[in-house]
Chain A
């Protein structure tokens, strides 16, 4: 049984308040990242690429940039930042001395990670519109979907945080899982350029593949039946890792 009540919002609010206190620095990545990537890859390198499947290259990578930003913000929030709060700041210890349960603390952290992903997607949208690389109004769907995708990455991240022996060990999932995903999830080139076994592997085990597929369907817009499979994959995985993270964290924190 997972013990979550409305008190989970007090944990989420704590992180929201801390985020607002340093909003200037927090708002830099979503504005700067898409500009840099679009200029360097989209319009720089992209001039050598006529089109991908008939889509101009900057338009092809735009939804991938949103997906990557959501992944990074949610994943790093619930790995390094959560670990700092749990281990160094003892914030979790302070909270569980109140009527807030340990499950609510972990759930609040993950919901916050998802929110952060959504905030970043929201802030990126006007920049991408300015470059004319995403279509409206369908691209407004990027925002709610970023929350779901963010929740998935937050859940995966929290599982790693629950089992990591130290903050340094979080570098393993960052470099061995997140970085390969950044490159091989149909982000900067279509998945079908890869050998077939790797394609299947990406579809089965790399969550970003599904997130990019859906975001691309949203920004073009061009929906296909396969998107429903991706959506289902994400929902199931998000719920699974959400529950697993809480269970692993209980094991770590209840002593």
Chain B
């Protein structure tokens, strides 16, 4: 991500952003990018509004134009009321929204977001998702990294799953789910009877802790078989497969530190 933003030197190969080489045309690239860093680095010496004005100045945007954009962006991000409030007094969700507003101040052609909703409560996340979707609907290109797979599933048209710096799969979320996890998942507690029945049926299953997961296109049939053997002993649930299933199947369950 930092190499795309022209902050870190590239370690090898070729890298072009917006058709320009990252080594020779850093300023041109940066002037057309919007960056939402993972770390909140708003300027604590200023209010929300002044943060946008000061940032606009780094792009060389004239004062009057900057003021107009800052007002519009505060309104867009629902921060009107916090206009003159210092950064320290803003909640986590407001800070993230303000950072997104800041990244839009130069009307970027490409918006790069690094974990945009990390550490936020559900309301704050949903508001940010709504704003990102409306940006996308206006035709903006967004590149985002996230560990929240529900976030990726909701926001992304195209998705790349990476592990240890290598691309594992690439595609639309729905396609990836269908391809790597199937339509549905049946989950049942791991009991001897359940395991025996699944073996009899010749159905493949994954082990996730104490839960058996069966990825299948015929969830009702599998569930019925399982209910017969373990009706009173273990709960059987059927749910649609998610990106999280894809991710865990592809990258394994061991902790990555």
Interface residues of A (CB under 8 A from B): 7, 10-11, 13-14, 17-18, 21, 89-91, 93-101, 254-255
Contact = CB atoms under 8 A, between A and B. Distances in A.
A32 to B, nearest CB: 23
B27 A101 contact: yes
Interface in B1-54: 5, 7-9, 26-28, 30-31, 33, 35, 37, 39, 41-46, 50, 54
B60 A99 contact: yes
Contacts of A13: 54, 57
Nearest to A7: B60
Given A17-B50, A97-B37, A98-B30, A91 B55 contact: no
A91 B41 contact: yes
Interface residues of B, number: 27
Contact of B43 (A89, A96, A97, A98): A89
Contacts of B39: 90, 93
Contacts of B60: 7, 10, 99
Contact of A98 (B44, B50, B59): B59
A188 to B, nearest CB: 36
Contacts of B54: 13-14, 17
A98 B55 contact: yes
A93 B8 CA distance: 11
Contacts of B45: 17-18, 21, 89
Given A10-B57, A254-B9, A97 B30 contact: yes
Given A10-B57, A89-B41, A89-B43, A97 B31 contact: no
Interface string B49-71: 01000110111100000000000
18 contacts: A7-B58, A10-B57, A13-B57, A14-B57, A17-B45, A89-B44, A90-B41, A91-B43, A93-B41, A95-B58, A97-B5, A97-B35, A97-B37, A98-B55, A99-B28, A99-B30, A99-B58, A100-B58
A89 B46 CA distance: 12
Given A17-B46, A18-B46, A21-B46, A98 B41 contact: no
Contact of A10 (B8, B37, B58): B58
Nearest to B41: A90
Contacts of B8: 254-255
Question: Among A18, A91, A98, A100, which residue has the most Cβ atoms of chain B within 10 A?
Answer: A98
B59 A99 contact: yes
Contacts of A11: 58
A11 B60 CA distance: 11
A94 B55 contact: yes
B81 to A, nearest CB: 21
Interface of B: 5, 7-9, 26-28, 30-31, 33, 35, 37, 39, 41-46, 50, 54-55, 57-60, 106
Contacts of A14: 43, 54, 57
A98 B46 contact: no
Given A91-B41, A97-B5, 12 more contacts: A10-B57, A13-B57, A17-B45, A18-B45, A89-B43, A90-B39, A93-B7, A94-B41, A97-B7, A99-B30, A99-B31, A101-B27
A255 B3 CA distance: 10
Nearest to B53: A17
Nearest to A17: B54
Nearest to A11: B58
A90 to B, nearest CB: 4
A94 B9 contact: no
Contacts of B46: 17-18, 21
Contacts of A97: 5, 7, 30, 33, 35, 37
A170 B28 CA distance: 36
Contacts of A101: 26-27
Contacts of B43: 14, 18, 89, 91, 94
Contacts of B55: 94, 98
A12 to B, nearest CB: 10
A17 B53 CA distance: 11
Contacts of A254: 8-9
A104 B31 CA distance: 15
A101 B27 CA distance: 8
Contacts of A21: 45-46
> 4 tightest CB-CB pairs across the interface, nearest first?
A90-B41, A98-B58, A18-B45, A94-B41
Nearest to A14: B54
A246 B132 CA distance: 38
